[in-house]
Chains A and B, each alone.
Chain A
């Protein structure tokens, strides 16, 4: 029964979404207060219906209702409860429902927190969000119904790939999707601003928290995905420049640019048209990322051919959203007035540079991702580009970005002198020089050295920025502390986020020097790698609930002292005829020792085992940096100035003319 209820609730949500699109738009156009005030209620109704629908699907998964095709294909009686729940969004249909639910939540959040928005703006923003939601709920209902029934219902489901039964992967999609979908709100604000023909400081103030929140979630989601591939796939790799990964990196890059250019709109009322365009672009990348790449339409022409209805619907919907918003942009953008003037050397100037560099990196990643499928579609040539391409093309652009990131936040607005700023940075410059010397001595390769140096520069300047603001060591410590207490949290947030970028970049640079060794050894043999002695002390076979595991014991010693004992294992799942690798990782915060056990070979009297040993310097820093970035974003969001006291909008002189 509950699947039908879920289906009905989804249809109801779709109806609400359509109403949420049409009525407030008409209301805002006719200045009809009754129609405009319907938007929040409709948004709330939509999210309640979506929540009910989602709960029904979870209920069907928990109660093992294998008459539902989606549950049948992705679940089994023996699956642990956690994965029964998280498995709901582990497949195409369920993930689209989750996507719609998060979009609905964003709409409800705009309705709830947007009380101080002008009525017409709020109505239009909610209408745009409703329109996007309506499209995807319709897609869900017509082509990928998660509640489809099967008759007769089998006794057990087909189970889930054991590789995907992992806590990291279970929570990766909701976080990542919140990041993707969160950019729908800046997008909706951009469209609403284009319809109104008006972008001002207040608009920037409203958009920025949403961009920051979405960005923080996206950062966490990307880091979680990368961490998962590091500890589950067992190759010691953390980023493969796979189209699926790039699909999340592209909106992250343009979203980072958006977050920064929105500051300029808010403080200086400049870069308005550009910011609107970035908001549109970021959400378009998010949409194409999730739907084109994840559904495999772009990756393989077959997915398209196998299910033309789905492919055509998605392409049509993307065309409508992206094409429509760009057309609106082309039509209305010229009516937005240009903003304040500033000199190239000023905070605005540096934020423009930041945007140019981030967008250049974004363009490079986009080209590298799109070029192979286009070559294959247009010329029938199958090519691929991988890590060497992306490293060579993106790192040289990231290094100037690091350099400017350092002093950008310290420059005053409007016009600035370089010298006074640089003079305050001498400690940071000294630290950077030292880092350069250490990097040249310890790292090999030009790009890793530059990357590490840039990373130290970013961390050092972020610290200097805060030290300067609280006048550390220039006034008594107690007074500095007092100043720090009254410093806006956004200042701390920004410095932390920048330092986080530095920490990640340092991890990435050090990881280019990772060492590994693949050996085949009998029990008792010792291998040396990176100054450690790794001994295979023993191997045993252990039964698990639905697998048998080959568990190795590796003792790692340094200068004769035992550092750690690792237990990597290899699980063979009999039911699926599949094996998974359980990596053993020992970390001390500065480096990871990473051990993998492979197949058993040789006869039973003299067995040998394949081992894969990695020494990964600063590996945890890559994800730690991402967490720091996201935390910096959260700290900024908690700043009172972000939440309350948004500037009252001055009465519009040309509001009627723009209609």
Chain B
């Protein structure tokens, strides 16, 4: 086999391999990208029910309720970004680090009734950790800026319910 033919084969194989990879990536991207949204973004524009999103914010103090549907435990709690709140329903065990007043990310989709059905609730290993999306949104909404020191501690988040946050954001 000549060097040229061999090179041709190599080029064909490389193009086929990388082409397949690119095609698979694009098709997988188009159907599997998950957008992050805050409760106020959800309130402004409700995403379609078939779209998976990541909803992030603080768990409103005193909003965590549990029910049993048959034998299935159902947790419901409100998530706020200080401007709007969304009620999240979650079947299953909440993570060990789930706390009222601390940040969470819920993965799931909106229900027709305006609630949010979560298939997964994430709270991170570290108590001081805040999901970066939540931190960025807090920064955008003016609740906290990393320039002015560490994030407010859990106790003050605890006191910040959706209602308080609304009034305070109106006040400022």
Contacts and interface: CB of A to CB of B under 8 A. Distances in A.
Contacts of B6: 341-344
Given A161-B125, A356-B14, A383-B35, A415 B21 contact: no
B21 A364 contact: yes
A355 to B, nearest CB: 9
Contacts of A305: 146
A518 interface: yes
B155 interface: no
Nearest to A360: B21
A382 interface: yes
Contacts of A521: 71
Interface stretch (B89-97, B110-118, B158-166): B89-97
B102 to A, nearest CB: 11
A388 B32 contact: yes
A360 B18 contact: yes
B36 A357 contact: no
B20 A352 contact: no
A386 B34 contact: yes
Interface string A341-368: 1111000010011001101110110011
A397 B21 contact: yes
Contact of A580 (B1, B9, B94, B96): B96
Nearest to B98: A579
Interface stretch (B42-50, B79-87, B131-139): B131-139
B95 to A, nearest CB: 9
B136 A382 contact: yes
Classify chain B's interface size. Answer: 35 or more
A360 B13 contact: no
Interface in A283-325: 299-302, 305-306
Contacts of B127: 576-578
Contact of A392 (B14, B24, B71): B24
Contact of B35 (A161, A299, A349, A382): A382
A300 B132 contact: yes
B93 A360 contact: no
B172 interface: no
B93 A518 contact: yes
A381 B91 CA distance: 29
A389 interface: yes
A161 B36 contact: no
A360 B27 CA distance: 15
B36 A384 contact: yes
A518 B91 contact: yes
A650 B1 CA distance: 27
Contacts of A518: 72-73, 91-93
A48 B48 CA distance: 62
B125 A163 contact: yes
A519 interface: yes
A382 B36 contact: yes
Interface stretch (A1-9, A19-27, A119-127, A595-603): A595-603
Given A299-B132, A341-B3, A383 B72 contact: no
Contact of A393 (B24, B71, B72, B73): B24
A211 B129 CA distance: 37
Contacts of B93: 518, 596, 598-599, 610, 612
A397 B93 CA distance: 35
Nearest to A373: B132
A393 B33 CA distance: 13
Interface string B1-40: 1010010011001101110110011011101111110000
A599 B96 CA distance: 10
A385 interface: yes
Interface of B: 1, 3, 6, 9-10, 13-14, 16-18, 20-21, 24-25, 27-29, 31-36, 54, 66, 68, 71-73, 91-94, 96-97, 125-127, 132-133, 135-136, 146
Given A367-B25, A519-B71, A598-B93, 15 more contacts: A163-B125, A301-B132, A343-B1, A359-B17, A360-B21, A384-B34, A388-B31, A389-B29, A392-B27, A393-B21, A393-B25, A397-B17, A518-B73, A599-B93, A610-B73
29 contacts: A299-B132, A302-B135, A302-B146, A344-B9, A344-B13, A353-B13, A356-B16, A356-B17, A360-B17, A360-B20, A361-B21, A363-B18, A364-B24, A368-B25, A383-B36, A385-B33, A392-B24, A392-B31, A392-B32, A393-B27, A396-B24, A397-B20, A518-B93, A519-B73, A520-B71, A576-B127, A577-B127, A580-B96, A612-B93
The 10 A-B pairs with the shortest beta carbon distances in the complex, nearest first, are: A360-B21, A382-B36, A356-B17, A389-B32, A300-B132, A598-B93, A520-B73, A392-B28, A393-B28, A388-B32
